[in-house]
C-alpha cells in the first residue's frame, strides 16, 4: 500500500471543473478511481458534469456557486467535500478567467478580478486542503497556468502576470511541502480547444482563426482538454512522486 492510500478512495478537487479542460480532468480522474469534487462558479455546469460522471459509474460531487476568489466560499466548499467524500488528497487549481486589452486600458477593477480568480483562488484552495494532505503524508497539487506566462502575450499583461505568479507559487509550495510527501507542479497549457479559446477566437484575440494557429503549431492541431487531463492524471499518480516544482508544458511544441 502506498503512502496516502488510506484503503479508501482518494478524493480530488478540481476547480472550474464544469467546463473545458476542468471537465476533462474531472472525467479522467473519476475514470482513474478518484472521487471527484467539482468546484465551479457555474452551478448548473458543475451539476451537469457530476451527473455525467455518475452515469459512467464514477463518484462525483458538484459544489456549485463556489467562487474560488472568495475565501469563505472556498472554506465552505472544501468543508462540504470533506464531510461528504473525505479528506482531500488531490487539488487541481484549474478555474481561471482571461482578458484581452491594451495595457493602458486595463482598469484596476479588471486587474484585481483576474488576480483574485487566477492567483488568490489557488492560494485559498491550497490553504484549505493542505492540512488533509499533511495528515495523510501524501498529496498532489497541479496548478493550471498558461504558456503565455512563459513567453509573454501582448494585451494580456493582467492575465499573464497572474499565471506567471502561479508558476512561482508552484515552485515555492513544492519546496515547502516536498518533505511532507506532497508534490506541486504546474501545467501551462497552450492553445487548447475549449469554450475559453473559442471565445478568444470570436473576439479576435488571436489575430486569426484557430485553423491559422494550428498551421503554425508543430503538431499541426489545437490541443484537446483530454491532452491536459492526461498530463494531470500522471502528475497526480503515485508514479509521479519524484516530480515536483516542475513546469510541464502541454502545447503541441509551441513553447519549448
* CA quadruple 96, 102, 108, 110: dihedral sign: negative
| Site track 73-102 with ligand NAP (rule: CB under 6 A), x = hit | ---------------------xxxxx----
Q: Give me the residue label for grid cell 501551462.
A: 188
Choosing from 11, 68, 91, 233, the residue that interacts with ligand NAP (CB under 6 A) is 68
Q: In whole angstroms, what is the distance from residue 16 CA to residue 25 CA?
A: 10
Using rule CB under 6 A, residue 40 touches ligand NAP: yes
Find all residues with CB under 8 Å of 145, minimum gap 6, and list them. 163, 164, 166, 167, 170, 186, 187, 188, 247
Find all residues with CB under 8 Å of 129, minimum gap 6, and list them. 13, 78, 88, 91, 139, 141
Q: Is 242 an active-site residue?
A: no
Choosing from 13, 41, 160, 250, the residue that interacts with ligand NAP (CB under 6 A) is 41
Size of the chain, expressed as the number of residues it contains: 256
4/225 with CB nearer ligand NAP: 225
Site size with ligand NAP, rule: CB under 6 A: 30
Q: In whole angstroms, what is the distance from residue 240 CA to residue 233 CA?
A: 10
Q: Which helix (H) or strand (E) segment is 140 a member of?
A: strand 139-144
Only one of the segments 28-36, 51-59, 184-192, 235-243 lies at the binding site for ligand NAP (rule: CB under 6 A); that segment is 184-192
Strands 35-39 and 11-15: parallel
The helix, strand and coil proportions of the chain, stated in percent and rounded to the nearest 5, come to 50, 15, 35
Choosing from 4, 12, 14, 18, the residue that interacts with ligand NAP (CB under 6 A) is 18
Residue 25 bridge partners (DSSP): none
Q: How far is the CB of 16 from ligand NAP (least distance, A)?
A: 3
Choosing from 87, 139, 165, 189, the residue that interacts with ligand NAP (CB under 6 A) is 189
- Which of 34, 123, 138, 159 does the annotation list as catalytic? 159
Using rule CB under 6 A, residue 146 touches ligand NAP: yes
Using rule CB under 6 A, residue 165 touches ligand NAP: no
Only one of the segments 12-20, 127-135, 204-212, 241-249 lies at the binding site for ligand NAP (rule: CB under 6 A); that segment is 12-20
Choosing from 89, 191, 227, 240, the residue that interacts with ligand NAP (CB under 6 A) is 191
* CA quadruple 162, 17, 21, 4: dihedral sign: positive
Q: In whole angstroms, what is the distance from residue 48 CA to residue 64 CA?
A: 10
Using rule CB under 6 A, residue 19 touches ligand NAP: yes
68/88 with CB nearer ligand NAP: 68
Using rule CB under 6 A, residue 170 touches ligand NAP: no
DSSP 183: E
Q: Which residues are catalytic?
A: 159
Which residues contribute to the site for ligand NAP (CB under 6 A)? 15-16, 18-22, 40-42, 45, 66-69, 94-98, 117, 144, 146, 189, 191-192, 194-197
Amino acid at each position: 500500500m502506498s503512502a496516502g492510500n488510506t484503503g479508501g478512495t482518494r478524493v480530488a478537487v478540481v476547480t472550474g471543473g464544469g467546463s473545458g479542460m476542468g471537465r476533462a480532468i474531472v472525467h479522467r480522474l473519476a475514470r482513474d478511481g478518484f472521487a471527484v469534487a467539482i468546484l465551479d462558479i457555474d452551478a448548473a455546469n458543475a451539476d451537469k458534469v457530476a451527473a455525467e460522471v455518475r452515469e459512467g459509474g464514477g463518484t462525483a460531487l458538484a459544489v456549485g456557486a463556489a467562487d474560488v476568489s472568495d475565501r469563505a466560499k472556498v472554506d465552505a466548499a472544501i468543508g462540504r467535500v470533506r464531510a461528504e467524500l473525505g479528506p482531500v488528497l488531490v487539488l487541481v487549481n484549474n478555474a481561471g478567467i482571461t482578458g484581452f486589452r491594451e495595457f493602458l486600458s486595463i482598469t484596476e477593477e479588471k486587474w484585481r478580478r483576474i488576480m483574485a480568480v487566477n492567483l488568490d483562488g489557488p492560494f485559498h484552495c491550497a490553504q484549505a486542503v493542505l492540512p488533509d494532505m499533511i495528515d495523510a503524508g501524501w498529496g498532489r497539487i497541479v496548478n493550471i497556468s498558461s504558456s503565455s506566462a512563459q513567453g509573454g502575450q501582448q494585451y494580456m499583461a493582467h492575465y499573464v502576470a497572474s499565471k506567471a505568479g502561479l508558476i512561482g507559487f508552484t515552485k515555492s509550495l513544492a519546496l515547502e511541502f516536498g518533505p511532507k510527501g506532497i508534490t506541486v507542479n504546474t501545467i501551462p497549457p497552450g492553445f487548447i480547444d475549449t469554450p475559453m479559446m473559442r471565445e478568444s477566437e470570436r473576439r479576435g484575440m488571436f489575430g486569426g482563426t484557430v485553423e491559422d494557429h494550428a498551421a503554425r503549431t508543430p503538431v499541426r492541431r489545437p490541443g484537446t482538454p483530454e491532452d491536459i487531463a492526461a498530463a494531470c492524471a500522471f502528475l497526480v499518480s503515485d508514479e509521479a512522486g519524484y516530480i515536483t516544482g516542475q513546469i510541464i508544458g502541454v502545447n503541441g511544441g509551441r513553447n519549448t
